[in-house]
Homo-oligomer: A and B are copies of this chain.
Amino acid sequence: MSVSSQNPPQQSGNNLDPWYYNYAARTAGLAASEVRALFAVASRPEVVSLAGGMPAVSALPQELVIDSMNRVMREQGSVALQYGSGQGVPKLREQILDVMAMEGISASADDVVVTTGSQHALELVTKLFIDPGDVVLAEGPSYVTAMVIFRSFQAETQHVAMDEHGMIPEALRERIAAVHADGKKIKFLYTIPSFQNPAGVTLSWERRQEVLAIAKEHGILVLEDNPYGLLHFDAPPPPAIRSLDEDGVIYLGTFSKTLAPGFRVGWALAPHAIREKLILANEAAVLSPSSFSQLIVSQYLDTIDWRAQVDRFRGVYRERKEAMIGALTEYLPNLSWTDPQGGFYVWLTLPPHLDSKQMLPRAVKELVAYTPGTAFYADGSGRNNIRLSFCYPTPEAIRVGIRRLQNVINGELDLLETFAATGPLDTVRDRTFSAPPPNLD
């Protein structure tokens, strides 16, 4: 195809993409993940994937869902099939209050907005608040797809360091001061306080109060994302940050982990004025979240002993977490990792000269997949880290996966010993990793 000799009044594109020059500035931030192609390979059944975040839906007895589904169609079929309100089904919003009460939250159903998974609540909040160049503070490391959203609205994510008790208040103060010194505006502090993704750590009760106080002192809204809070293995995590304050916190919850993600039902609990704008943004985006899905979730909460089902999930994940920690202790005793008390993820620190992204193709060749640590930072950190998910594979598969990972890491260390010119390599292999507490920054 030759270049056209007659330019249209608007320059539109090039030969690869006729609309290349037409995209919004924000669209430049929407890049495909570098490891995406590899993950397509990693989804082959012979690969043990410790990479994804898929819940163990096989632990949900399908009769429970089938029963709810059929009741909904029998009793409210014409409502289920129709458009609903932009805020969500009133009864479900009341039931969501009961779910949140388990984490210490007291609220009004008026301030709950049902969304297409809590992911969409995160996107809508970002759309409402972010102008190009604004800063979002987030733990370092933080949830990949949250940072994708922030970037897609041209926000800059800046990280706050964590340790085994979660975000470090002093690091938060310092980060705020540094951003303000740069003349930038912080629009919110995004945090996953319980069983954090990807680090697996939990923000202590004292720090929840301290982090909130610092945010309020500086007029910074807190965006509390809590998909895993109910999935504790033993003691529950401390009450939600939202339980401490209703004007300064937007709280995000979801049924993706306590029931199933296939329904795409999550929610935001927001201060009154923000709630109103969230509903308008939700209506603009999808008119209304699925009535069908919402009514099934509502029926399920009404007629099934859902707390017992959450307990069943806890048992499944506890067993898998123990399998993973056991295998790490057995196969990679010299490395350090976090030991989560709930949720889906372990954060592993590699020997200092290893690069987890570079190592990934070799891992996939050895039939194990993980997510490289760099995915969870906006600033290129994390080369030395790996997120390991224990949520989806069976305990046996987890053991096999970690054994394969041992091979991969040993192979990389052998390569390093052969080729590296950076000092005595014994120190690499023999270094003792104090675990816990690892520094997650």
Contact = CB atoms under 8 A, between A and B. Distances in A.
A106 to B, nearest CB: 19
Interface string A57-98: 110101001100110010001111111100000000000000
Given A117-B287, A123-B284, A292 B219 contact: no
Contacts of A9: 180, 218-219
A57 B73 contact: no
Interface string A338-351: 00000000000000
Contact of A264 (B54, B66, B116): B116
Given A152-B281, A290-B293, 5 more contacts: A19-B221, A27-B129, A32-B280, A60-B81, A119-B287
Nearest to A63: B73
Contacts of A221: 12, 19, 22
Contacts of A149: 284-285
Contacts of A220: 10
Contacts of A290: 116, 262-264, 290, 293
A17 B83 contact: no
Nearest to A128: B27
Interface string A234-277: 00000000000001100000001000111110000001111011
18 contacts: A8-B219, A9-B180, A10-B180, A17-B274, A18-B271, A19-B274, A23-B277, A24-B128, A24-B131, A27-B127, A27-B277, A32-B276, A60-B81, A65-B81, A81-B260, A119-B286, A120-B286, A262-B291
Interface in A124-170: 127-131, 134, 145, 148-149, 152-153
A289 B127 CA distance: 19
Contacts of A26: 127, 131
A264 B284 contact: no
A84 to B, nearest CB: 7
A42 B58 CA distance: 45
B148 A284 contact: yes
A20 interface: yes
Contact of A18 (B123, B247, B289): B247
A262 B263 CA distance: 12
Contact of A277 (B30, B260, B264, B284): B30
Contact of A289 (B8, B180, B264): B264
Contacts of A256: 83
A403 interface: no
A22 B290 CA distance: 30
B83 A292 contact: no
B281 A264 contact: no
Contact of A119 (B25, B129, B285): B285
A224 to B, nearest CB: 15
Contact of A117 (B19, B23, B276, B286): B286
Contacts of A248: 18
A421 interface: no
A206 interface: no
A441 interface: no
A439 interface: no
Given A73-B62, A73-B66, A24 B284 contact: no
A262 B127 contact: no
A185 interface: yes
A273 B14 CA distance: 11
Contacts of A57: 78, 81-82
Nearest to A261: B83
Nearest to A60: B81
A352 B46 CA distance: 73
A11 interface: yes
Contacts of A276: 32
A334 to B, nearest CB: 35
